[in-house]
Amino acid sequence: MNDPTQLKSYTPEALRERFRRDGLPAYRADQVLAWIYQRGVEDFAAMTDLGLALREQLEASWRTRALEIESVQRSTDGTVKAVLLASDGAAIESVLIPEPGRNTLCVSTQVGCPLDCSFCATGALGFTRNLGVAEIVDQVCRMRELLDPGQALTNVVFMGMGEPLLNLPAVLDAIRVLVHPKGMAMAPRRITVSTAGVVPRIRPLLAAAPVNLAVSLHAATDEVRDQLVPLNRRFPLAQLMGALRDDDLITPRRPVFFEYTLIEGVNDSPEDARRLGPLLRGIPSKLNVIPMNPHPDSSYRAPSDAVIDRFTAEVHGQGIRVTLRRSRGRDIDAACGQLRARGAGPGGSVSL
């Protein structure tokens, strides 16, 4: 939801402009942003370098929190999943993945998702609405509070609930807050946006923000991809891969990260692996193979370890840079394709 009184819905430039229009010096906006994003203080009363009258004025006009944490689950592998509630009661999920030397946060961009990928628990929920900028940014603020003392967030991936490119303006403004020196000052290359393949919005994303692009591929033929990612009927493989191949913003220094969920008997054959060579040829890229994470709404299963190993070896033999990604947080349904916060559900629609 876009709420004009919600401070986190403004990029730093927009907040300075808004303060000027309200008759306040622009540097006051910088001071407030430093408290919120750099020091993690959201209560105006605690912003001690602002005068008392100004603190009271800000308190009366602005809100600084868009989400509240409803529940937190911790996996045996250290992964943390939280259900976050928006002011209208909508529930979304964010997942924190601590690893040695890095702490990655997976954020949601929509309540539910309209794309209905057949292996995904979020898709099974249907779509309710887009998240507003503040609701995306606040996932980062709330979730970093769950880090162990002394730890900092290092990476953000837009791979939670929803298709980010169907909410592109809000995603771009949220990225602007994350990377701005007066915002969270993150390096853009530490941010990854994932898409199921909304072809016309890939170039605008790449041109607007120097972030990483991930593409949910999951199949090497239209026949199988139509089943797994129904968006493929709208933007088939030839169109998707052609757009990526032709995009001069995709380079060896800025490759595409293809995601391939490996599903027993569906897309795990040696022929599938061999088809990936010609499909990815000419696109600077890496392929992440992720064995299917089961969930109750799906009969799909991961292949055996032997099949997974044979598949990745065959892909590697095609000259593709491939990584096998073992899932994190499966015991708390926090792995890819398992997010399904209650509160999402049929009701909304978005246009492509």
Q: Annotated catalytic sites, by residue?
A: 93, 336
Separate counts of helices (H) and strands (E) for the chain: 11, 12
Burial 229-240 (b: 16+ CB within 10 A, else e): bbbbeebbbeeb
> Is residue 273 within 8 Å of 316, Cβ to Cβ?
no
CB of 143 to ligand SF4, least distance (A): 18
> Is residue 155 within 8 Å of 103, Cβ to Cβ?
yes
Distances (CA, A) of 47 to 61, 63, 243: 15, 14, 48
DSSP states of 254-291: B-EEEEEEE-TTTS-SHHHHHHHHHHHTTS-EEEEEEE
Give the C-alpha separation, 255 to 275, whole Å.
20
Helix (H) or strand (E) holding 212: strand 212-216
Choose which of 90, 120, 213, 219 interacts with ligand SF4 (CB under 6 A). 120
Instruction: State which residue, 115 or 290, has the beta carbon closest to ligand SF4.
Output: 115
CB of 125 to ligand SF4, least distance (A): 9
**Interhelix angle 168-179/133-144, nearest 10 degrees:** 40
CB of 218 to ligand SF4, least distance (A): 9
CB of 116 to ligand SF4, least distance (A): 6
> Is residue 90 within 8 Å of 136, Cβ to Cβ?
no
301, 302, 305, 311 alpha-carbon torsion, rounded to 10°: 120
7 forms part of the interface with ligand SF4 (CB under 6 A): no
Report DSSP state, residue 302.
Answer: P
Total of residues contacting ligand SF4 (CB under 6 A): 13
Choose which of 93, 135, 138, 163 interacts with ligand SF4 (CB under 6 A). 163
Choose which of 12, 123, 197, 303 interacts with ligand SF4 (CB under 6 A). 123
Distances (CA, A) of 258 to 15, 51, 287: 36, 51, 5
Choose which of 106, 117, 191, 214 interacts with ligand SF4 (CB under 6 A). 117
Instruction: State which residue, 216 or 298, has the beta carbon closest to ligand SF4.
Output: 216
Among all chains, which residue has been given the structure tokens 């191949």? 245
138 forms part of the interface with ligand SF4 (CB under 6 A): no
205 forms part of the interface with ligand SF4 (CB under 6 A): no
196 forms part of the interface with ligand SF4 (CB under 6 A): yes
Choose which of 84, 96, 141, 161 interacts with ligand SF4 (CB under 6 A). 161
Instruction: State which residue, 11 or 79, has the beta carbon closest to ligand SF4.
Output: 79
Choose which of 59, 116, 247, 264 interacts with ligand SF4 (CB under 6 A). 116
Phi, psi of 159, deg, nearest 5: -135, 15
CB of 115 to ligand SF4, least distance (A): 4
Choose which of 106, 113, 178, 198 interacts with ligand SF4 (CB under 6 A). 113
Contacts (CB under 6 A) with ligand SF4, residues 311-340: 337
122 forms part of the interface with ligand SF4 (CB under 6 A): yes
Measured from the Cβ of residue 313, the count of other Cβ atoms closer than 10 Å reads: 12
Residue nearest to ligand SF4 (CB): 123
CB of 123 to ligand SF4, least distance (A): 3
Give the footprint of ligand SF4 on this chain (CB under 6 A). Answer: 113, 115-117, 120, 122-123, 161-163, 196, 216, 337
